[in-house]
Amino acid sequence: MTTTTAAPATRPPALTLDERLALASLAMDDRLATAALAVDVNTAHIPVDPLPQITIPLPPAAAPTPYRTPLAALLHRARVRIETDGWARGACRDEDGRRCAIGAIRAEADSPGQADDASALLLDIVRRGFGGDTVPSWNDAQTSPRPVLLALSRAADHAHNHNL
């Protein structure tokens, strides 16, 4: 009787992390390709209506300001807002989006405190240069936006010159 002994079983060498990741990546690529093909086959009978074109107006680009100080920059932005959106009397903002001087300042301010500071500075300019008691009453008394834009420019220059 002859006996044969089996050779001891040898294990294949262990795979490195990079090799295991490469095999997993190939397996996932195969699964994704199969799933994509299944979606294409299962939805081939569905008619496709063209999507309507949706256009969203882009917000206007912020106009560069020639001023470095916060209040001067705010007053300049308020002037630009009135120039682009239009000037209003009798309300901070009307139904068409036009704004009065105070409404433009509030729209452009980073905080209520900053809006108050800019409004106080504008009031000082209006009282000294235009003879108004309050900014809203003075704004409503104007017949065109020209004096309002001029007052905002003067206030911005004043804030810039005094580092406000």
65 Cα distance to chain centroid: 18
Q: Print burial letters for 72-97: b (CB count within 10 Å at least 16), e (below 16).
A: bbbbbbbbbbbeebebbeeebbbeee
Q: What is the pLDDT of residues 101-118, one digit of tens each?
A: 999 999 999 999 999 999
Q: Is the pLDDT of residue 1 over 60?
A: no
pTM attached to this predicted model = 0.62
DSSP 24-78: HHHHHHHHHHHHHHHHHHHTTTS--PPPPP---PPPPPPPP-S--SHHHHHHHHH
End-to-end CA distance of the chain: 110
Which of the residue ranges 35-44, 47-56, 82-91, 121-130 would you say has the lowest mean pLDDT?
A: 47-56
Percent of the chain with pLDDT over 70: 91
Q: What is the pLDDT of residues 122-142, one digit of tens each?
A: 999 999 998 889 999 999 999
Q: Is the pLDDT of residue 19 over 90?
A: yes
- For the chain, give percent helix, strand, coil, nearest 5: 55, 0, 45
